[in-house]
A and B are shown apart, each in its own frame.
Chain A
């Protein structure tokens, strides 16, 4: 058993690091957002009145929700396939799922640029059939952003869904089959409803992660794919309007925290089932 004193000592370094490098800057951002020498709500006023910010916020949600839905559509079948493998095979396939997760997002974004670009792998290949001038724009637009983001988001969708699928008793499906149920009915009335907690967790995690995306839209997106994080960067480094940047950051944080709270709740329910 640890004594109170040793617990305190063991936790001290981490607590100190979190306090200095996370809580302090965070506090500073919150403070900046309401104080530029004097107390003011100018930053939040600008936030609510700016058309640019409204458009970017809408962009951010469109992209986040779009990417999440694509990730769900691709991730669910993958999770189902994984759930049906023997443990040995599943371990192998899991490595393939986790590979993008272990790769730096910067490296991935450049790698995708090589594949998706105007002179990239795909367009070069299509050029063989349709002439050298032919190409499908897949970079510096929403397609590029979605491809990049979904690539990053998929593991966070697949894992919770896989967990909820694997916790289902296989006897349920067997019982349904013997009672005469076909595969569609089994999926709709048993597999899917029993995996909803996992879907819920995956979706929320994807949305929260997407809201804060920065590198992917910056590298693979076009002018119309600016997201909130890019805007914060813009105000801090280009216009030096730190107060507005802080106000945006705080709002983004609040939205993410609310969603994360939902995530926590849906997980809690999942565990109770």
Chain B
């Protein structure tokens, strides 16, 4: 039986109602997902949210408890991992310690019975591509972590799979090396046009590298979108909080008249950007990104929506200045400002007003 996925033409991977349980633990709950060909596609979520499980179901290391997995339009659910023709990069490299770098990279080519002269040529070519020429004779142990990860990328690229899966490939590297490798992986993705599914729990990494990001939580997909969409139009308070820094103010929709009027739990009403599908009485949270809030003296006259509170801390991070304001209900509100010469400083402990434009307050409905 070969089923084909409905959107077979442009999807590299399609998951239809895929679930996976380990005993009583439901690691994935009926996930539907489609990864377009050629994209850099990231899975982002906290520890235990099911990212690795999802990747293992695509690679064929596990069989789903329910649902079907399509790869390049073909039903691959019952196909053994060794027959799927994918590539995978592991967090701890998974290079064969007893083989030289050359033999490690030649391994998948030998399986494919490539003639030895061509193996030699292709291994050298791919070592050039990852900027590691001349290390063929060394053992993995004799390379640094970053170099080993390049070799493991090379070992994938060398047999030209149309899909590469990566499970936190930079998780074991230090921050500077991560940045360097992020650029490297993005470059390889651009140059080779291979579809990549990339697992990370570093949101910055996901935001900078991906065409699309899947936000996962408890074995389910919270939202799929581009970095822009997730940042400016998060579907729910969870994604908003997970992507970037955020201030969330709880309340209830009190009126809909062009903009939304939200009655706050602590009294007062705030106007925010209108959103489809809202009705009066809905429990919501208003999202205000720290960089869209401005901090002024409490008595400043303004017709923008805002709140007053006590300025507890101001921190200078070079290019930006972060203000922390304690609201009357005890919650903290964060506001970020671009640093510049002669920036006026408000006294710590003073009452201040944080305000934002109506369109910078996004109303997110609480999950029911």
Q: Are A172 and B111 in contact (CB under 8 A)?
A: no
Interface contact A178-B86, CB-CB below 8 Å: yes
A-side contacts of B98, CB under 8 Å:
193-194, 273
**A192: shortest Cβ distance to chain B, in Å?**
10
B41 CB–A CB distance under 8 Å: no
| Across-interface contacts of A175 in B (CB, < 8 A) | 88, 90, 94
Interface members, chain B 41-71 (any A CB < 8 Å): 59-61
Binds A, one of B77-85, B260-268, B291-299, B318-326: B77-85
Q: Which of A137-184 contact B (CB under 8 A)?
A: 169, 171-172, 174-182
Query: In the complex, which residues 185-216 of chain A have their Cβ closer than 8 Å to any Cβ of chain B?
Result: 185, 189-190, 193-194
> What string of 1s and 0s marks CB contacts (under 8 Å) between B297-332 and chain A?
000000000000000000000000000000000000
Question: Are B112 and A180 neighbours in the complex by a CB distance under 8 Å?
Answer: yes
Contact of B96 among A174, A177, A182, A190 (CB under 8 A): A190
Number of residues from A at the complex interface, CB < 8 A: 18
Query: Cα distance A194–B95 when bound, in Å?
Result: 13
CB distance from B108 to the nearest CB of A (A): 4
- Given the complex, which residues of A lie within 8 Å of B83, measured CB to CB? 180
Beta-carbon contact of A178 and B87 below 8 Å: yes
In angstroms, Cα B92 to Cα A190, docked, is: 17
> In the bound complex, what is the Cα–Cα distance between A229 and B98 (angstroms)?
40
| Residue of chain B at shortest CB distance from A172 | B94
Q: Which residues of A contact B88 (CB under 8 A)?
A: 174-175, 178
Closest to A181 in B: B111
Expressed in whole angstroms, the Cα–Cα distance for A177 and B84 within the complex equals 10
Q: How far is the CA of A174 from the CA of B82 in the complex (A)?
A: 9
Quote the shortest CB–CB distance from B199 to chain A (angstroms). 14
**How far is A165 from B59 in the complex, measured between Cα atoms in Å?**
24
- In the complex, what residues of A have CB within 8 A of residue B85's CB? 180
Q: Which residues of B contact A172 (CB under 8 A)?
A: 94, 96
Q: How far is the CA of A180 from the CA of B107 in the complex (A)?
A: 10
State the CA gap A189–B98 with chains docked (Å). 9
A174 to B, closest residue via Cβ: B61
B6: Cβ under 8 A from any A Cβ = no
Q: Is B159 an interface residue (CB 8 A)?
A: yes
Give the dominant DSSP class at B's interface: loop
Which B residue's beta carbon lies closest to that of A193? B98
State whether B94 touches A171 (Cβ < 8 A). Answer: yes
Contact A177 B61 (CB under 8 A): yes
With A171-B90, A171-B92 known to touch, is A178 a contact of B59 (CB < 8 Å)?
A: yes
Give complex CA distance A178, B159 in Å: 12
A191 to B92, CA, bound (A): 18
B342 within 8 A of A: no
A180-B82 in contact (CB<8A): yes
Shortest Cβ gap from A110 to chain B (Å):
45
Contact, CB under 8 Å: B97 / A178: no
A178 engages B60 (CB within 8 Å): yes
Q: Which residues of A contact B97 (CB under 8 A)?
A: 194, 273
Chain A nearest Cβ from B362, distance in angstroms: 41
- Give A173 Cβ to nearest chain B Cβ, in Å: 9
> Which residue of the partner chain B has the closest CB to A186?
B82
Question: A171-B90, A185-B111 are known contacts. Are A178 and B61 too (CB-CB below 8 A)?
Answer: yes
Which residues on the B side are within 8 Å of A177 (C-beta)?
Answer: 61, 80-82
Known: A185-B111, A190-B96, A194-B97. A179 touches B90 (CB 8 A): no
A18-33 CB mask vs B (1 if < 8 Å, else 0) is 0000000000000000
With A171-B90, A171-B94, A194-B97 as given contacts, are A179 and B108 in contact (CB-CB < 8 Å)? yes
Q: How many angstroms from the CA of A245 to the CA of B73 in the assembled complex?
A: 79
CA distance A193 to B97 in the complex (A): 10
**Closest A-chain residue to B158, C-beta based?**
A179
A190 CA / B94 CA spacing, docked (Å):
12
- Closest residue of chain B to A190 (Cβ to Cβ) is B96
How far, in Å, is A180 (CB) from chain B's closest CB? 5
**In the complex, what's the smallest C-beta–C-beta distance from B198 to chain A, in angstroms?**
16
Q: Which residue of A lies closest to B92 (CB)?
A: A171
Scoring B86, B94, B155 by chain A CB atoms within 10 A of each residue's CB, the highest score goes to: B94
Residues of B within 8 A of A171 (CB): 90, 92, 94
The contact of A180 among B61, B90, B94, B108, by CB within 8 Å, is B108
Distance A265 CA – B111 CA, assembled complex (angstroms): 34
Chain B residues, CB < 8 A from A185: 111
Instruction: List A residues at the B interface (Cβ < 8 Å).
Output: 169, 171-172, 174-182, 185, 189-190, 193-194, 273
Give the A-binding residues of B (Cβ under 8 A).
Answer: 59-61, 80-88, 90, 92, 94, 96-98, 107-108, 111-112, 155, 159
Closest 5 CB pairs of A and B: A179-B108, A171-B94, A175-B94, A180-B111, A177-B81
Known: A174-B81, A181-B82. 6 other contacts (CB 8 A): A169-B94, A172-B94, A174-B90, A182-B82, A189-B96, A190-B96
Task: Show 26 residue pairs from A and B whose CB-CB distance is below 8 angstroms, ordered by the A residue.
Answer: A169-B92, A169-B94, A171-B92, A172-B94, A172-B96, A174-B81, A174-B88, A174-B90, A176-B107, A177-B61, A177-B82, A178-B61, A178-B84, A178-B86, A179-B108, A179-B111, A180-B82, A180-B111, A180-B159, A181-B82, A181-B107, A189-B107, A193-B98, A194-B98, A273-B97, A273-B98
